Amino acid sequence: MLNIGCHLSASKGYLHMGKEATDIGANTFAFFTRNPRGGSAKAIDTDDVKAFLEYAKEHSFAMLVAHAPYTLNACSNKEETREFALNTMKDDLARMEYTPHQYYNFHPGSHVGQGEETGIELITKQLNTVLTKDMTTTVLLETMAGKGSEIGRSFEELKAIIDGVELDEKLGVCLDTCHVYDAGYDIVNDLDGVLDEFDRVIGLERLKAMHMNDSKNPFESHKDRHEKIGEGSIGLDTMIKIINHPKLQGLPIILETPNELDGYAHEIAVLRNAYNG
């Protein structure tokens, strides 16, 4: 089963996203838990959530991959920004419990000159504050391109965060194809080698979801500019290898390519067509 979808707008609610996903051939999706630039979240409509949960069950949806706002930076050098990150994540995780047992993905953060060690320490500290034993959501650390002072450019950095978290059973990793290629993991020429390294450093059982994006820039450029599937430096062949790789079966795959709904529908159709399962 190929579990694939894309980013959808949450402005019309959960059921609307579910139906939109079905319309474009998706059986999972991502959405921003609030405006991607931050700010306050819309109140949860419990009737809408209930209708969506039924709809998702009927249509055999895979797990959803919610996305935290981009502005969330747990390892900022400003106390105020760190506090915003903490409170936003706390509130997001409370909201996620309306749709239990899904994924919540976030960018670990940028250390803005404080150094990786301090960055990792601050992220770990935030996770140790917001994760609770009773939560059903799994929080995913996204692999990053290494733009500026981004933490998460290497598997080792993600592993260091996981190692510092007490309730590490609540943590997983979301692998973004554009980001890892930008960061210097050659998924085009050595996909098996990259997955072996992920397994050796983090453990493949932590890999819970993927962001599938082509890249506007060449290998190791640390730029983070997504391209349509097959139109960038990674190429369609590698994407087809990824969806058919025996070690990656069942993971929800989210497209974050520069597309409107019809473009996403096209990419989903191309990938479903190339799927051998």
| Residues labelled as active-site residues | 37, 67, 70, 107, 142, 176, 179, 211, 224, 226, 256
Partner from Fe ion, Zn ion, none contacting 211, C-beta within 5 to 8 A by type? Fe ion
Residue 60 Cβ, how far from Zn ion at the closest point, in Å? 28
Pair type for strands 103-106 and 65-67: parallel
Q: Which is nearer to Zn ion, 92 or 176 (CB)?
A: 176
**Rounded Cα gap, residues 69 and 80, in angstroms:** 16
Contact 259, 227 (CB under 8 A): no
Pair type for strands 214-215 and 4-6: unpaired
Site for Fe ion in 143-202 (CB under 5 A): 176
Residue 142 Cβ, how far from Fe ion at the closest point, in Å? 5
Choices 50-58, 85-93, 165-173, 211-219; region in contact with Fe ion by CB under 5 A: 211-219
Q: Site size for Zn ion, by CB under 5 A?
A: 1
- What amino acid occupies position 160? A
Site for Zn ion in 185-244 (CB under 5 A): 224
How would you label 215-240 residue by residue, b for 16+ Cβ within 10 Å and e otherwise? bbbebebbebbbbbbbebbbebebbb
Name the burial class of residue 106, with classes exposed (0-12), middle (13-18) and buried (19+) by CB atoms within 10 angstroms of its CB: buried
Choices 8-16, 24-32, 189-197, 205-213; region in contact with Fe ion by CB under 5 A: 205-213
Partner from Fe ion, Zn ion, none contacting 224, C-beta within 5 to 8 A by type? Zn ion
Q: Which is nearer to Zn ion, 20 or 142 (CB)?
A: 142
Q: Which is nearer to Zn ion, 18 or 146 (CB)?
A: 146
DSSP, collapsed to helix, strand or coil, labels residue 56 as helix
